[in-house]
A and B are shown apart, each in its own frame.
Chain A
Amino acid sequence: MLEKIKSILSQIDADYADVRYEIKKETVIAFNGRELSQITSNSTDGYVVRALKDGGFASAVFTKPSDAERITKLVVENAKLIGKNKTKPVLLAKTEIIKDKFTPPLKEDPRQISIEEKLDITRKANNVCLKFDKIATTNIAYRETIREKSFVSSEGSEIQEDLITISLAGEIIAKDGTLVQNVRVATGGSDGFHTIRNPEAQFEERTKIAIDLLKAIPIKAGIYNCILNPSMAGVFTHEAFGHFSEADIIENLPAMREKMKLGSKLGSDILNIVDDPTIPHQLGFYKYDDEGVKARRTQLMKNGVLVGRLHSRRTAAEFSEPLSGHCVAEDYRFAPIVRMGTIFIEPADKTLEDLFALLGDGLYILDAKGGQTAGENFTFGAQYGYLVKNGKKSDMIRDINISGNLYKTLMGITAIGNDLVLTKRGGCGKGQINIRSCHGAPHIIAQGLVLGGI
C-alpha cells in the first residue's frame, strides 16, 4: 500500500505534501426495541492529500483512484491561491521523521469474535432493558470501527497505524402516560472486545434510572451550586475549557487569542487539566496523529493558569508553541483538525462525602447528555440529578441543562475529588466526529451554574 500512496505523493509539486490512505471497516448491530434493525459489516476506503506551496496550505479528499491526478493538481493550485492571499506565509512546525508500523496490542481482538457472538451480547444487553414494564423502547447498538491508516510525507515519514474502536451503547426510553424520559448507556473503548463483555448489570442500572426519572421533579430555572459526577465534570472540562485549548478555534479570533495567552489565569487555584492521548488502554489512545506527529501528554492548566495548548503542525508554528500531536481526522473523508485526545481534571484529595459536606445546599448532577461550545459560551445537559439539602441527597430531579462561560465558570470550581474516571465512548462533533474523544474528571464542586429547567 505504501508504494501506491508514495506514487501519488510523487505527483504533487509542492514545498511539502502528505498523503493519507485509509481502509475503514465498520460493523453495526442495532436494535430498536425488540427488533433487530441492522446487522452489517462493510469496508470503504479513500485518500486525503495536503500540500504546502508558496506559503499556502490546502487539502483535498477523494475516493476514486482515477481522480488522483486531477486532485493533486487542484490541491497545489489551491495552496498557491491561499499563499497569494496571505500576508504571512503558512509554516509547519518541525517534526521528527518517523518510519513505524504500529498495531495496538488488544486484550481481545474483536476481529476474532464471530458476528453471532456479537449479536448475542447485544441482544442480551437490550433484553435486560426491555424486561421492565415502563420501558417504551430502546436504541441499542454494537459498533466496531477499524481504521487502517497509512501515511507518507514528502519529508520521509512513513507510518501505518490501526485504530480499533468498539462500543455497545444507546438510549433507553421510559414512558408513563404522555411523559417520556430517556437515559444513555455506553461501554466499550479502544482496548479490545473484553470492554463490552458482561454488560447486563450496567444496562439494568441505567434502565432503573430511566424508570425513576418518570417520577423525578423538573428542576426550576435558576443559579445553583452543584456537585458534578465524573462523567458530568468530564464533559464540563471538554466543553468549558478543552475546545478553547484547541489552537485552531482561537487562532483567528484576535480578542480571544489575547485572553487565552499562556500564563492567563482562567481557573481556580486548585484546578489542573491535562490532555494525554498516550495513556494506554484508554478510549482516547493513539500513537501518532493524522499528520504523523507523535502524540504527547500536554499540561493545559496548572493551578488555574493556562500553561499549554493543543496543536497541529500549522498552529504550533503560528503560535510558536511546542507540538502536541493532536491533529486528528474522523476518517479518510476529512483532512485532520486540532482535537482533544484524553482530557481530564487531575484528581485531588476530597472524598465524595467531603464534597457533600462542603456543598451544604445545592444539586448533585450526574451523567452528561451532550454539550456544545461556541466561543466563550457553552451548554451541556445532565441525564439526572438530586436535590442536596444540608449535605444530604434528597429528591431526584430531571430536565437539567447548564449554560456557562469560559472566563467565569472555571473560577467557580471550589473543590476536587480523588476519584478520576475516564469515558468509554466518545463522539465529539467539530465538523467531523471523533469517536475516540475521551474525557474525565473526579467529582467536583462548581458554584453558580445557570440551569435552564424546562
Chain B
Amino acid sequence: MEKLLEIAKKVCDQVEIYSLDNKQNVVSFENAKLHEIDTKFQSGVSIRIIKDGKLGFAYTRNLINREELLKNALNSLQGGVKAEYEFPLTKDLPKLNTYDASIETITTKQMVDECNRICEILKTTNGEVSATAYTYTETIRILNHQGTDVSNTSSHFGVYASISYPGTASGIGRVFSDKKFNPMPAHLIQEIVDYYKLSSQEISAKSGKMKVLFMPNVMYAINWRINSGTSGKSVYEKISPIAHKKGEQIFSEKITIYDDPRDDKYPGARSFDDEGVAADKFYVIENGVLRNFYYDLNYAQKMNTKPTGHGYRTAQWESDAISIKPSPSLSYMRYQTGNKSISQIIRSIDRGIIIEGALGAHSGNIPNGDLSIGANPALYVENGEILGQLKDVMVACNIYELLKNVIDVSDTLYYSYGGVMPAILFDNVSVATKG
C-alpha cells in the first residue's frame, strides 16, 4: 500500500488509499436444526486521487498490479468529476477497545452449540424456531498523501434468534452482539418466548388512529428518514424538508439523537470515518431541537462548512465497501433513553399496536419523511394487555409529525440494525387493518 501511495503521489495532487480485509463465518439454523455454514474471506483496495480539482477512483480485490489500479484511477479523471476538497491529516486518535483476540479461536462447533442451546429454549413454544450465529473480523486502513495512516481492527460475534407463528414466517426475533463470544443473555431469549406466547393468537381490530410502539428492531424505518433529512447531501440538493430549521424545535423534547462512533461498548466502534476524518460524538437532535447536519468531505466543501466525520462507504442496496464512494451517513445512531421499561410502556397503552417487524420501509417517499409500512407482526394492545396479533396491517405517517407525538422512549437500548435503539411509543398514528 505504501508503495502504491508513493507511485500515485508522483502523478497526482492528492491520494487516498483505503484497504479492507474481512473474515466471516455464519452458522444458520432453520426449524431448530443446523441448516447452513457459510464462510467468507475477502479483501480489497480502493484508491481515490485528485488532480487539477478532478477525482479519480478505482478498486481491486488483489493488489497484484499497482500500476494497473493507478491507471484505472487516472482514466476515471477524464470524466471530470469535481473534487474541491482535501484529504485530511489525521493523527493522535484515541485507542478504542474494538478487538478481542479470542474471536479467532471460536470454533464453528461452539457456534453450532450456542444455536442449539437457544433453539432448545425457544422450542418450548409451538412456533417455528430459527437462529443464526456469526463471527466477523475486519481491518480497515486508510493512508493518504498528507501522512494520515489510520487503521482499526474490530471483532464481532452475534446471534439472531426468532420464533415464527406457524405458516407465516413472521414472528418475534431478537439480536445479541458482542466483541467476543458470549452466550445470548437469558432475558433476551425469554423476551422472544414471552412476546411470542402473548401474541400467538390471531385477532382482529378496527382501523383508526391509535398509539403505536416501534420496537428497537423497527426503528430503522424512522431512522432512514432522519438520515435523509439531516444529511448534508440532502441540504445541498435542497430536498431536505428541514434544511432551514437549524436551531428550531422540530420534534418532541423527549427526542435526542446523536451519533456515537467511539462508543466501544458495542462492536465496530471507530475513531475515524471512511475518509480518515476524525469521528466523535455528534448531536443531530437535542431535546427535539435540530442541532446539526452531518457531512462528508465532499458535501462539507460544497456547503462551505467543516466535515463532521460522516463519510462512509455505504449505500442502501450495496455492500461492497471498496466499490462504493464515501457519502454522508449516520452510521452509529443512538437515542437518549427515557424512564420507563418497555413493559411499563406497554401497560400504559389504552389502545394501540406494537410493531415487531416492518415491511416495505424502503418504498415510501423517504426524502419527504413519509412512512407507510406493513406491520409484520402487529401486536394488538388494549388496556395495557397484549391480546394477540393482527394481520394485514399498514401503519402510515410522516416522521416530522410522528416525532412530535412522542409519549415515551424506553429506558434501555438494544443493539439493532443501523444502531443502538430504544423502543418509542407514539400517539395518534394512522393504522389500517382488515378488521
Q: Which residues of A contact B (CB under 8 A)?
A: 26, 29, 32-33, 35-46, 58-65, 67, 70-71, 74-75, 77-79, 81-82, 85-87, 115, 119, 136-137, 173, 175, 178-182, 221-223, 249-256, 258-259, 333, 335, 369-381, 398-399, 401-405, 408, 427, 429, 433, 450-454
B61 engages A401 (CB within 8 Å): no
Q: Given A45-B61, A378-B359, A401-B363, answer yes or no on A450-B169 (Cβ-Cβ < 8 Å).
A: no
Query: In the complex, are the beta carbons of A379 and B430 less than 8 A apart?
Result: no
A370 contact set on B, CB distance < 8 A: 360, 362-363
Q: Is the CB of A175 within 8 A of B239?
A: yes
Q: If the complex has contacts A40-B58, A180-B241, A255-B166, are A222 and B432 also in contact, measured as CB distance less than 8 A?
A: yes
Contact partners of B430 in chain A: CB under 8 A: 221, 452-454
| B434 interfacial by beta-carbon distance below 8 Å | yes
Cβ B363 vs Cβ A137 within 8 A: no
* List of A residues within 8 angstroms of B325 by Cβ: 37-38
- Contact of A71 with B39 at beta-carbon distance under 8 Å, contacts A40-B76, A42-B323, A377-B392 already known: yes
B241 to chain A: which residues have CB within 8 Å? 178, 180
User: Would B39 and A374 count as touching, CB distance under 8 A?
Assistant: no
Q: How many residues of B contact A (CB 8 A)?
A: 80
User: How close is B93's CB to chain A, nearest CB, in angstroms?
Assistant: 28
Q: B252 interface residue, CB < 8 Å from A?
A: no
Tell whether B374 is near chain A: CB-to-CB under 8 Å.
yes
17 interchain pairs, CB-CB under 8 A: A37-B81, A39-B80, A63-B41, A87-B33, A136-B237, A173-B239, A178-B241, A256-B169, A372-B359, A381-B364, A399-B396, A405-B391, A450-B393, A450-B434, A452-B374, A452-B395, A452-B396
B33 contact set on A, CB distance < 8 A: 85-87, 252
Confirm or deny: B331 has a beta carbon within 8 angstroms of a beta carbon on chain A: no
State which of A75, A179, A398, A454 has its C-beta within 8 Å of the C-beta of B39. A75
Which residues of the partner chain B approach A249 to less than 8 Å between Cβ atoms?
169
Closest-CB distance, B317 to chain A (whole angstroms): 6
* Distance between A408 CB and nearest chain B CB, rounded to angstroms: 8
Given contacts A254-B31, A399-B396, contact A372 B374 (CB under 8 A): yes
Q: What residue of chain A has the Cβ atom nearest to residue B171's Cβ? A: A375
**B77, closest chain A residue (CB):** A39
Contact between chains at A175 and B238 (CB < 8 Å): yes
Q: In the complex, what distance in Å separates the CA atom of A61 from the CA atom of B40?
A: 5
Of B193-201, B260-268, B365-373, which stretch is located at the interface? B365-373
Could you tell me if B373 and A401 are in contact, using CB atoms closer than 8 angstroms? yes
B112 within 8 A of A: yes
Q: Could you tell me if B317 and A429 are in contact, using CB atoms closer than 8 angstroms?
A: yes
Please indicate the chain A residues that have their CB under 8 angstroms from the CB of B398 in the complex: 454
In the complex, the answer to whether B359 meets A60 with C-beta atoms within 8 Å is: no
CB-CB under 8 A from B361, the residues of chain A are 372
Question: B135 CB to closest chain A CB, in angstroms?
Answer: 13
Residue interface mask B77-121, A partner, CB < 8 A = 1: 011111000000000000000000000000011001000000000
Residues of B within 8 A of A256 (CB): 166-169
How far is it, in angstroms, between the C-alpha of A318 and the C-alpha of B391 when the chains are bound? 31
A41 to B391, CA, bound (A): 47
A433 / chain B contacts, CB cutoff of 8 Å: 317-318
Given known A40-B76, A374-B376, A399-B372, contact A82–B238 (CB-CB < 8 A)? no
A253 in contact with B128 (CB, 8 Å): yes
For residue B341, give the distance in angstroms from its CB to the closest CB of chain A.
Answer: 27
Q: Is the CB of B392 within 8 A of A403?
A: yes
Q: For the complex formed, measure the closest distance between the CB of A66 and the CB atoms of chain B, giving whole angstroms.
A: 9
Q: How far is the CA of A335 from the CA of B35 in the complex (A)?
A: 14
Contact of B360 among A39, A380, A429, A451 (CB under 8 A): A380
Cβ–Cβ contact A61 & B39, under 8 A: yes
Query: Contact between B367 and A180 (Cβ–Cβ < 8 Å)?
Result: yes
- Specify which chain B residues have a CB less than 8 angstroms from the CB of A427 in the assembled complex: 317
A405–B41 alpha-carbon span in the complex (Å): 39
Q: Is B305 an interface residue when CB atoms closer than 8 A count as contact?
A: no
B181 CB within 8 Å of chain A: no
The docked-state distance in angstroms from the alpha carbon of A74 to that of B43 is: 18
Question: What's the minimum C-beta distance from A51 to chain B, rounded to whole angstroms?
Answer: 11
Chain B CB within 10 A, most for which of A29, A58, A63, A87? A63
B372 and A453 contacting across the interface, CB-CB below 8 Å: yes
Bound CA–CA A161/B195 (angstroms): 49
**Are B359 and A180 closer than 8 Å at their CB atoms?**
no
Q: How far is the CA of A181 from the CA of B239 in the complex (A)?
A: 9
Q: Assess whether B394 is in contact with A180, with CB atoms less than 8 Å apart.
A: no
* Per-residue A-contact encoding for B325-336, CB less than 8 Å = 1, 0 else: 100000000000
Q: Is B75 an interface residue (CB 8 A)?
A: yes
Report the separation of the CA atoms of residues A221 and B38 in the bound assembly, to the nearest whole angstrom. 43
Given B112, B167, B317, B374, which contacts A81 in the complex, CB threshold below 8 Å? B112
Known: A252-B35, A453-B430. A259 touches B167 (CB 8 A): yes
Is B44 part of the contact surface with A, judged by Cβ < 8 Å?
yes
6 A-B pairs besides A252-B130, A256-B169, A381-B372 with CB distance below 8 A are A64-B62, A115-B79, A136-B239, A374-B170, A403-B432, A452-B373
Residues on the B chain within 8 Å of A221, using CB: 207, 394, 396, 430-432
B217 → chain A, closest Cβ, in Å? 13
Q: Is B357 an interface residue (CB 8 A)?
A: yes
Q: Which residues of A contact B31 (CB under 8 A)?
A: 252-254
Q: Which residues of A contact B2 (CB under 8 A)?
A: none
State the Cβ distance, B81 to closest chain A Cβ, in Å: 5
Bound CA–CA A370/B365 (angstroms): 11
Identify which of A35, A42, A253, A375 contacts B58 (C-beta below 8 A): A42
The CB with the most chain B CB atoms within 10 A, among A39, A77, A249, is that of A39
Complex: A43 Cα to B60 Cα, angstroms: 7
Q: Are B374 and A36 in touch, CB under 8 angstroms?
A: no
Q: Is B397 an interface residue (CB 8 A)?
A: yes
B42 at interface by CB-CB < 8 Å? yes
Residues of B within 8 A of A371 (CB): 360, 363
A74-B42 contact in complex given A39-B76, A403-B392, A405-B392, C-beta closer than 8 Å: no
